[in-house]
């Protein structure tokens, strides 16, 4: 199948696979907000959710159970139902002629599948063979910062610690955090059912499976996906990922070592003028980005940019970004927008 340079010049038929999840719901919301040219929207989910109603523009539309005929005549599929579901329907979608933009980790590292952050590597999207992968949420936020800086001075090494909200584990984890926090304040002990441990007034190292090198799957996703997006296959990279009791929006503490010293003020100016980034720094008030600053917002906020006092070639900074928006739904839609006819 040859890549399409753009979608047809007409309203599109768009399917959202996983329409009832946290990301799928946000995708539908953002499609409306950005006036994406849709003539027909098809929300798809499992049999369990079929028949439920989904708000779309000024009306409600019915959720349909995904089946082999769901993608007939569809131009674009935005999938956020998990890796197993994406793998199960991949061939059916591609054979239908639709472009599949997948939010799961199923295909991200596959050779020939572009892994795209539109502000960073938009041209990679046009090498697709019907399938484009949406990166991991923490990787998207990080790459927005790394790309404009490494364009100025090459990066030698990145060390990052993440502070990941409940939203990264989905809508059920967010609801569980609310319920367990309420129970804690009322003096009741309740066990977590969605996450392995309670996040109520607590935090724990990321719950994805540990690998042979004792890094968890989430940490290795960040390393490998960042290398692929940035086009730096040998980038020295280390991550520690943590779940924190925040409902929505992830934070990251980042140490970046360059090939030579990077003037902090120069880095500040570069980031402040880069797309998708907003600077928030009030050193006199010790006020820098917080999850509440970015919840429901498109931009990633960056602050506390400073010289690493332990290494002359390194700087440190802090960022916060909405995991559901730019970390997932918005990025997928921005990828699709690359293929819209330019007016």
Nearest to 317 by CA among 334, 328, 330, 302: 302
Question: Is residue 312 within 8 Å of residue 257, measured between CB atoms?
Answer: no
Mean pLDDT of 246-267: 98
Alpha-carbon dihedral sign for residues 61, 63, 64, 66 = positive
Write down the mean pLDDT value for the chain: 94
Q: Do domains 12-135+328-337 and 139-323 have the same CATH topology?
A: no
pLDDT at 338 over 80: yes
Class of domain 139-323: alpha beta
pLDDT band at 332 (very low <50, low <70, confident <90, very high): very high
- pLDDT at residue 110 in the model: 96
pLDDT tens figures, 7-22: 766 789 999 999 999 8
* Helices within 135-186 (DSSP H only): 137-150, 171-185
pLDDT at 2 over 80: no
pLDDT for 302: 98
Edge-to-edge strand list for the sheet holding 314-321: 204-205, 236-243, 155-164, 250-258, 314-321, 300-307, 277-279
3-class SS of residue 123: helix
By C-alpha distance, which of 328, 323, 248 is closest to 27?
328
Active site (annotated) includes residue 128:
no
From 128, 216, 241, 250, active-site residue: 250
Mark whether 137 is an active-site residue: yes
- CA 272/CA 176 separation, integer angstroms: 37
161 within 8 A of 207, measured Cβ to Cβ: no
Q: How many CB atoms neighbour CB 255 within 10 A? A: 17
Label residue 239 exposed, middle or buried (CB < 10 Å: 0-12, 13-18, 19+). buried
Q: Is 41 helix (H, G, I), strand (E, B) or coil?
A: strand
Residues 282-318 pLDDT 10s: 999 999 999 999 999 999 999 999 999 999 999 999 9
Question: Whole-angstrom Cα distance, residue 195 to residue 243?
Answer: 10
Q: Which two tokens stand for residue 104?
A: 């799961």
* CATH code for the part of the protein at 12-135+328-337: 3.40.50.720
Each residue of 111-122: pLDDT tens digit? 999 999 999 999
Residue 51's pLDDT band (cuts 50, 70, 90): confident
> CB within 8 A of 312, min separation 6: which ones?
261
Instruction: For residue 154, give Cα distances in angstroms to 148, 151, 233, 258, 313.
Output: 10, 7, 13, 6, 11
**pLDDT (0 to 100) of residue 9:** 66
Catalytic residue of the set 137, 216, 241, 320: 137
For residue 295, what are its two tokens?
Answer: 């919840």
The pLDDT value given to residue 343:
62
Rounded CA-CA distance 328/87 in Å is 18
Q: Is the pLDDT of residue 342 over 80?
A: no
- Average pLDDT score over residue span 167-179: 93
Domain residue extents for the chain: 12-135+328-337, 139-323
Q: How confident is the model at residue 171, as a pLDDT?
A: 87
31 and 94 Cβ atoms separated by less than 8 Å:
no
Query: Rounded CA gap, 43 and 17, in Å?
Result: 6
């Amino acid at each position: 199948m040859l890549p399409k340079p753009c979608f047809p010049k007409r309203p599109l038929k768009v399917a959202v696979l996983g329409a009832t999840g946290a990301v799928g719901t946000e995708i539908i919301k953002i499609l409306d907000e950005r006036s994406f040219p849709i003539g027909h929207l098809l929300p798809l989910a499992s049999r369990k959710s079929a028949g439920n109603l989904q708000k779309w523009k000024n009306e409600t539309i019915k959720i349909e159970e995904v089946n082999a005929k769901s993608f007939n005549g569809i131009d674009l599929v935005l999938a956020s139902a998990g890796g197993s579901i994406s793998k199960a329907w991949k061939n059916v979608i591609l054979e239908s002629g639709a472009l599949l933009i997948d939010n799961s980790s199923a295909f991200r590292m596959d050779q020939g599948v572009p892994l795209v952050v539109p502000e960073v590597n938009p041209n990679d999207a046009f090498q697709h063979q019907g399938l484009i992968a949406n990166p991991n949420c923490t990787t998207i936020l990080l790459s927005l910062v790394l790309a404009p800086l490494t364009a100025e001075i090459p990066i030698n090494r990145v060390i990052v610690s993440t502070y990941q909200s409940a939203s990264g584990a989905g809508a059920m984890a967010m609801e569980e955090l609310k319920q367990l926090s309420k129970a804690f304040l009322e003096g009741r002990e309740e066990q977590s059912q969605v996450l392995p441990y309670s996040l109520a007034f607590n935090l724990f190292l990321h719950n994805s499976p540990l690998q042979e090198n004792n890094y968890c799957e989430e940490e290795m996703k960040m390393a490998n996906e960042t290398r692929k997006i940035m086009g730096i296959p040998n980038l020295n990279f280390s991550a520690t990922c943590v779940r924190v009791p925040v409902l929505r929006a992830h934070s990251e503490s980042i140490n970046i070592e360059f090939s030579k010293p990077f003037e902090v003020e120069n880095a500040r100016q570069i980031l402040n003028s880069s797309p998708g980034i907003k600077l928030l720094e009030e050193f006199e008030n010790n006020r820098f980005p917080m999850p509440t600053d970015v919840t429901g917002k498109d931009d990633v906020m960056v602050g506390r940019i400073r010289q690493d006092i332990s290494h002359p070639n390194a700087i440190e900074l802090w960022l916060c970004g909405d995991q559901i928006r730019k970390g997932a739904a918005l990025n997928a839609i921005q990828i699709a927008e690359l293929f819209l006819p330019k007016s």
